[in-house]
């Protein structure tokens, strides 16, 4: 009967592959601290976070959760948990302090020691090359990603890491959430370099694409046994209704938000529909024939996907003025997946294309992020059918306020529920035929949120500190730590 068929479909047909990479993730700026130790140069985040009013309660990463000095302790918790993979990022300015000159051996040593410690404990390292912390020197000298001059600098930095770690690290991530750091950096001025200019945003985005392809090409020459891909912040778009105009609006939004980046990564071409709109407005990036050759020649081995939530749209408010209504989504600029805030300038290419709106079916977190586990399955399915590459889920998690009890426990059942629901949907996506090679929850320990300090926590391991006080920095496993330990032990069998 029907129930039995459904049961078989999800519970009996598909188990997780034996070598599935159950992991957790982090990023250098958010955990390391030691911002100027052992020769590290300043990054754009070291500078930006010191500008008044830019981050929550003025938090910065000078100390963060002091992982630089406590990585062995952190890895001992990973081992206790049974983690199979750990995704971390390298701070470019630790390896090359001014971004393009001398290599700082001490910087490379730190990451090699970290990798050795992971391997010693049976944990597969997953190394992200760029998680938003451009060396400040490159920003000052060339204007950062707006200039093609940073491409050879990035290539040099990647080469140093490939050569040092190619026998030890198999999985490499190029760019973390290019869509997020370009839009928050160049459109909404919420991240460095705090620009609000669409033309500059599209120009910088193109340079990032070229740097990504350059790194992948070099990797394929130097690390033939490794696997590399970018991590994209993917949110599937839904139409609010079955009105064909809303459906078309969703197609438009999917093209602007997702195809715009992913088509370049996976096919080497920009989607024509979006490019045409940008050309009309005179804000399209300059793409040379040589650029196109590079972009089509360097394809990733897998696609990293960070999934938090998607978006819902309806027909644009020019053709349907009643859509300019109170139901319109109240966008927050600290949400990296925002699509089209209402105060957007008239020349925005998205305005005639779709109108972002609240989804009436979904609950939200305290920070207004929709909670949508089924959307995770939709995301994985869409990626599989459009690009047919193995997927590595490189981030997924719940930001919440955690309370440390007097007996030093954190009862984060809300996080367990969230992760459990997402893992169930991922398992269904695997049953649907999506090749998922691993899943890294965000995050392993608590860490510094770029714009939300330590109030918004994601970790399996609590870190005793807050915005105002570094406190003891003690590590305390949360209830979710033991829950995930069990999931890993059973290889997801009982999800
Ligand atoms: C992702 C980033 O966008 O979201 C992470 O890759 C980040 O670095 C995570 O921490 C959560 O964002 P937030 O704003 O809730 O801390």
Q: What is the pLDDT of residues 409-425, one digit of tens each?
A: 999 999 999 999 999 99
Compute, in angstroms, the gap from residue 449 CA to the centroid of ligand 1. Answer: 6
Across 439-464, b (16+ Cβ under 10 Å) vs e yields bbbbbbbbbbbbbbbbbbbbbbbbbb
pLDDT recorded at residue 10 = 56
Out of 313-322, 443-452, 464-473, least confident range: 313-322
Nearest CA to ligand 1 atom 4: 336
What would the pLDDT profile of 375-398 be if each residue is shown by its tens digit?
999 999 999 999 999 999 999 999
Q: How far apart are CA 482 and CA 26, in angstroms?
A: 19
Q: Please identify, by atom number, the ligand 1 atom nearest to the C-alpha of residue 132.
A: 8
Q: How many CA atoms lie within 13 A of 35 on its CB side?
A: 21
**For ligand 1, what atom is nearest to the CA of residue 367?**
15
Position 9 scores a pLDDT of: 58
Structure tokens belonging to residue 204: 């910088």
User: Rounded mean pLDDT of 87-114?
Assistant: 98
Q: What's the 10 CA to ligand 1 centre distance in angstroms?
A: 31
Q: What is the pLDDT of residues 142-199, one digit of tens each?
A: 999 999 999 999 999 999 999 999 999 999 999 999 999 999 999 988 999 999 999 9
* Number of domains, the chain: 1
pLDDT > 90? residue 273: yes
Residue 4 lies in a domain: no
Number of the ligand 1 atom closest to the C-alpha atom of 176: 6
Averaged pLDDT score across all residues of the chain: 93
- Check whether 344 has a pLDDT greater than 70: no
Residue 80 has pLDDT above 70, yes or no: yes
What confidence score (pLDDT) does residue 29 get?
A: 98
Q: How far apart, in whole angstroms, are the C-alpha atoms of residue 302 and residue 390? A: 5
The CATH number for 134's domain is 3.20.20.80
| E strands present in 274-317 | 303-306, 311-314
| Residue minimizing CA distance to atom 10 of ligand 1 | 449
Rounded CA-CA distance 155/159 in Å is: 6
**452: CA distance to ligand 1 center in Å?**
9
- Class of residue 326 by CB neighbours under 10 A (exposed 0-12, middle 13-18, buried 19+): exposed
Q: Is the pLDDT of residue 331 over 70?
A: no
> So what's the pLDDT on residue 317?
78
pLDDT band at 325 (very low <50, low <70, confident <90, very high): low
Which ligand 1 atom is at minimum distance from the Cα of 442? 9
Task: Kindly tell me the sign of the dihedral angle through the C-alpha atoms of 251, 252, 256, 261.
Answer: positive
Contacts for 52 with CB less than 8 Å, ≥ 6 apart:
58
Among 117, 177, 370, 425, the active-site one is 177
Question: Tell me: the pLDDT tens digits for 218-260?
Answer: 999 999 999 999 999 999 999 999 999 999 999 999 999 999 9
Summarize the confidence of residues 322-341 as an average pLDDT.
Answer: 58
Active site residue 421: no
For residue 260, the CA-to-ligand 1 centroid distance in Å is: 21
Ligand 1 centroid – CA 131 distance (Å): 10
Hey, whose CA ends up nearest to atom 3 of ligand 1? 336
The whole-angstrom distance between residue 6's C-alpha and the CA centroid of its chain comes to 33
Task: Tell how far the Cα of 9 is from the centroid of ligand 1, in angstroms.
Answer: 34
Is 136 inside a domain boundary? yes
Look at 162-166, 355-359, 404-408, 472-476 and tell me which has the smallest mean pLDDT: 355-359
Place of tokens 């399915």: 381
Q: What is the pLDDT of residues 4-62, one digit of tens each?
A: 666 555 555 578 999 999 999 999 999 999 999 999 999 999 999 999 999 999 999 99
Instruction: Please tell me whether the peptide bond between 193 and the residue prior to it is cis, using omega within 30 degrees of 0.
Output: yes
Average pLDDT over residues 274-278: 96
Q: Which atom of ligand 1 is nearest to the CA of 233?
A: 3
Q: Which residues, judged by CB distance below 6 Å to any ligand atom, belong to the binding site of ligand 1?
A: 27, 176-177, 180, 233, 306, 334, 336, 395, 399, 442, 449-452, 456
Measured distance CA(479)–CA(460) in Å, rounded: 8
For residue 448, how far is its CA from the centre of ligand 1 (angstroms)?
9
Alpha-carbon distances, residue 406 vs 96, 412, 445 (angstroms)? 44, 15, 20
Site to probe by mutation for ligand 1, drawn from 336, 371, 418 as the one with most ligand atoms within 8 Å of Cβ, is: 336
Question: Is residue 326 pLDDT above 50, yes or no?
Answer: no
Number of helices (H), then strands (E), in the chain = 17, 15
Residue of 307, 450, 454 to mutate, ligand 1, most atoms within 8 A of C-beta: 450
Q: Which domain holds residue 363?
A: 17-489
pLDDT at 349: 87
Q: Which of 73-87, 104-118, 305-319, 469-483 has the lowest mean pLDDT?
A: 305-319
Does the active-site annotation cover 395?
Answer: yes
Of the candidates 404, 400, 342, 397, the residue with the CA atom closest to the CA atom of residue 366? 400
Q: What is the pLDDT of residue 352?
A: 84
Domain assignment present for residue 3? The answer is no
Where does the pLDDT of residue 263 fall: very low under 50, low under 70, confident under 90, or very high at 90 and above? very high
């Amino acid at each position: 009967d029907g129930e039995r068929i459904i049961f078989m479909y999800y519970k009996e047909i598909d188990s997780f592959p034996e070598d599935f990479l159950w992991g957790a993730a982090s990023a250098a700026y958010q955990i390391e601290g030691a911002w100027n130790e052992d020769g590290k140069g300043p990054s754009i985040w070291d500078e930006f976070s010191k500008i008044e009013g830019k981050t929550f309660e003025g938090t910065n990463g000078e100390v963060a959760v002091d992982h630089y000095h406590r990585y062995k302790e952190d890895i001992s918790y990973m081992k206790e948990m049974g983690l199979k993979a750990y995704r971390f990022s390298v701070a470019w300015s630790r390896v090359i302090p001014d971004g393009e000159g001398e290599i700082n051996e001490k910087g490379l040593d730190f990451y090699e020691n970290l990798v050795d410690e992971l391997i010693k404990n049976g944990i597969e390292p997953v190394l992200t090359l760029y998680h938003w912390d451009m060396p400040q020197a490159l920003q000052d000298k060339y204007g950062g990603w707006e200039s093609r001059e940073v491409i050879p600098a990035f290539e040099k930095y990647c080469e140093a890491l490939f050569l040092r770690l190619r026998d030890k690290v198999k999985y490499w991530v190029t760019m973390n959430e290019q869509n997020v750091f370009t839009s928050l950096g160049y459109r909404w001025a919420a991240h460095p370099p705090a620009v609000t200019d669409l033309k500059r945003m599209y120009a910088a985005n193109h340079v990032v694409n070229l740097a990504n392809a350059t790194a992948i090409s070099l990797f394929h020459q130097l690390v033939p046994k490794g696997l590399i891909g970018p991590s994209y912040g993917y949110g599937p778009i839904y139409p609010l209704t079955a009105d064909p105009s809303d459906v078309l609006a969703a197609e438009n939004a999917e093209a602007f938000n997702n195809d715009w980046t992913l088509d370049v990564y996976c096919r080497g071409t920009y989607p024509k529909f979006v490019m045409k709109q940008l050309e009309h407005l005179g804000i399209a990036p300059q793409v040379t024939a040589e650029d196109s050759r590079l972009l089509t020649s360097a394809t990733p081995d897998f696609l990293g996907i960070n999934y938090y939530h998607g978006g819902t749209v309806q027909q644009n408010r020019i053709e349907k003025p009643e859509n300019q209504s109170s139901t319109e989504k109240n966008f927050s600029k600290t949400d990296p997946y925002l699509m089209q805030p209402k105060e957007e300038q008239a020349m925005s290419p998205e305005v005639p294309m779709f109108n972002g709106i609240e989804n009436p079916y979904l609950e939200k977190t305290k920070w207004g992020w929709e909670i949508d586990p089924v959307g995770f399955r939709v995301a994985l399915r869409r990626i599989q059918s459009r690009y047919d590459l193995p997927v590595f889920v490189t981030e997924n998690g719940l930001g919440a306020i955690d309370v440390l009890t007097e007996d030093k426990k954190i009862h984060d059942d809300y996080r367990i529920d969230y992760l459990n629901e997402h893992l169930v949907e991922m398992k269904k996506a695997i049953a649907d035929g999506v090749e998922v090679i691993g899943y890294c929850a965000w995050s392993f320990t608590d860490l510094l949120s770029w714009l939300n300090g330590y109030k918004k926590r994601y970790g399996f391991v609590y870190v005793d500190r807050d915005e105002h006080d570094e406190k003891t920095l003690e590590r305390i496993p949360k209830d979710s730590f033991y829950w995930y330990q069990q999931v890993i032990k059973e290889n997801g069998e009982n999800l």
